[in-house]
């Protein structure tokens, strides 16, 4: 199948171009004669971006599918312009066995909507101590994580990093000293981040830090990055949009922080120390939110939220936003995606950068409706999404 994508403004992490894109069997290729094309795709003068990759998502499947499942989560991801996600392992049962892992991966492939990667737990069933389940780790696992929990035992975490390095896999870490978080959640995040930055540096181990939210944690990451540690990090749209000036009763872990923290995260994005925007998309039922369950959905509005806070504000360019929403997270997940160059996947998100819309509950594709953005006017509307050259989402709004 040969396609030519035409009539667009193309943005990747480094360039802006109006040149047509040539695609063969889902891969961007060098130019071929127009008469060889099986399809010419008119992109309606929209901005064409490499589709986004989310390194931190909860689809609640298996075990909590009343909140979300692989299919509804995939449709929500496409609505937000994402074609790759990394799913966390706090399902029921947890992703601590090859059987659970392979089931999720197979069902994701069978849906053929987006590309799904699934983490494996660091400790067996999040018990905080057992690592022997990693001895039967499936070959396709790229990340391990105990998301929702910090690994509080220092020796267990050290041994887990050693094991991960031996296996050639990465870790994505929820940083929270459990016994401290109820007293001071800021110190809880800062202290564990500092420990794990040091471990990663001394062990020469690649480690990814999830949903960084404090100035202290980000300062530690910056320091060890400058030393040459193989560490990467993500921030969420809600931690750069909201702060203690606006947070009211927003229950999420890590919490919405002070304005000082938010502004520091923005500065670190500007300086290039933040590698990824990840949503921590966390569906809950209405009853669970009434009972203060932590977390919010966000994958459908991530681009528009970040476009407003980061690009329209003048802080960074659209190319830079593509870098932290597509290019770098794709590199971290080891996917050949995120650039508009031959050899890369033809995963494209077409965006009307001038179109504003009110995000309404009835428009949400996620099974859960617990969004912080309902009722807000956002700019930058995802209009179409292609995965490997195949149209997977079209906005009918």
Is 347 labeled as catalytic in the residue annotation?
no
Q: Please state, in angstroms and rounded to a whole number, the distance separating the CA atoms of residues 364 and 357.
A: 13
The 8 Å CB, 24+ separation contacts for 259-268 are 260/215, 261/213, 261/214, 261/215, 264/215, 264/218, 264/219, 265/212, 265/213, 265/215, 265/218, 265/235, 265/239, 265/240, 266/240, 266/309, 266/310, 266/315, 268/218, 268/222
Q: Please state, in angstroms and rounded to a whole number, the distance separating the CA atoms of residues 31 and 41.
A: 15
CA atoms within 13 A of residue 324's CA, in its CB half-sphere: 30
Nearest to 142 by CA among 105, 112, 189: 105
Q: Please state, in angstroms and rounded to a whole number, the distance separating the CA atoms of residues 89 and 61.
A: 9
Q: Please state, in angstroms and rounded to a whole number, the distance separating the CA atoms of residues 310 and 394.
A: 25
**Residue 232 in 3-state DSSP?**
strand
Nearest to 21 by CA among 350, 367, 247: 350
CA distances from 186 to 146, 152, 173, 189, 191 (A): 19, 16, 16, 5, 9
Question: Count of H helices and E strands in the chain?
Answer: 12, 18
Starting at the edge strand found earlier in the chain, the sheet holding 377-387 runs: 16-17, 9-11, 47-50, 348-358, 377-387, 390-394
How crowded is residue 157: how many other Cβ atoms within 10 Å of its Cβ? Answer: 22
Strand 21-24 vs strand 27-29: parallel, antiparallel, or unpaired? antiparallel
The residue to which tokens 């990090």 are assigned? 233
The residue to which tokens 């702060």 are assigned? 243
Query: Which position among 117, 147, 280, 320 bears the catalytic label?
Result: 280
Q: Please state, in angstroms and rounded to a whole number, the distance separating the CA atoms of residues 55 and 84.
A: 8
Residue 355, judged by CB atoms within 10 A of its CB (0-12, 13-18, 19+), counts as middle
Kindly report the length of the chain: 397
Residues labelled as active-site residues? 280
């Amino acid at each position: 199948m040969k396609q030519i994508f035409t009539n667009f403004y193309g943005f990747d992490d480094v360039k802006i171009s109006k040149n047509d894109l040539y695609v063969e069997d889902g891969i961007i290729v060098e130019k071929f004669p127009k008469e060889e094309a099986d399809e010419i795709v008119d992109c309606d003068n929209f901005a064409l971006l490499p589709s986004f990759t989310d390194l931190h998502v909860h689809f609640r499947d298996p075990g909590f599918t009343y909140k979300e499942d692989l299919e509804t989560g995939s449709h929500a991801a496409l609505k937000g312009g994402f074609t790759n996600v990394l799913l966390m392992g706090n399902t029921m049962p947890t992703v601590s066995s090859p059987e659970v892992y392979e089931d999720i991966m197979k069902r994701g492939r069978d849906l053929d909507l987006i590309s799904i990667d699934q983490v494996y737990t660091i400790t067996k069933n999040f018990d905080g101590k057992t690592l022997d389940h990693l001895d039967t780790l499936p070959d396709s696992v790229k990340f391990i994580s105990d998301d929702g929990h910090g690994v509080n035992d220092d020796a267990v975490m050290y041994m887990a990093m050693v094991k991960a390095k031996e296996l050639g896999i990465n870790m994505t870490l929820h940083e929270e000293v459990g016994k401290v978080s109820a007293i001071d959640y800021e110190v809880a995040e800062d202290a564990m981040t500092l420990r794990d930055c040091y471990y990663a540096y001394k062990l020469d181990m690649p480690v990814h830090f999830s949903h960084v939210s404090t100035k202290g944690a980000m300062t530690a990451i910056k320091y060890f990055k400058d030393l040459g540690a193989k560490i990467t990090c993500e921030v969420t749209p809600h931690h750069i949009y909201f702060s203690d000036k606006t947070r009211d009763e927003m229950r999420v872990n890590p919490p919405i922080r002070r304005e000082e923290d938010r502004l520091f995260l923005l500065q670190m994005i500007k300086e290039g120390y933040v590698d990824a925007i990840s949503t921590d998309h966390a569906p809950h039922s209405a009853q669970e939110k009434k009972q203060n369950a932590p977390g919010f959905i966000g994958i459908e509005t991530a681009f528009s939220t970040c476009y407003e806070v980061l690009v329209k504000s003048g802080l960074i360019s659209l190319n830079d936003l593509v870098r932290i929403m597509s290019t770098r997270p794709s590199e971290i997940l080891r996917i050949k995606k995120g650039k508009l160059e031959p050899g890369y996947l033809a995963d494209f998100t077409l965006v009307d950068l001038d179109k504003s819309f009110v995000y309404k509950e009835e428009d949400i594709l996620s099974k859960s409706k617990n969004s912080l953005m309902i009722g807000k006017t956002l700019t930058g509307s995802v209009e179409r999404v292609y995965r490997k050259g195949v149209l997977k989402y079209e906005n009918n709004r």
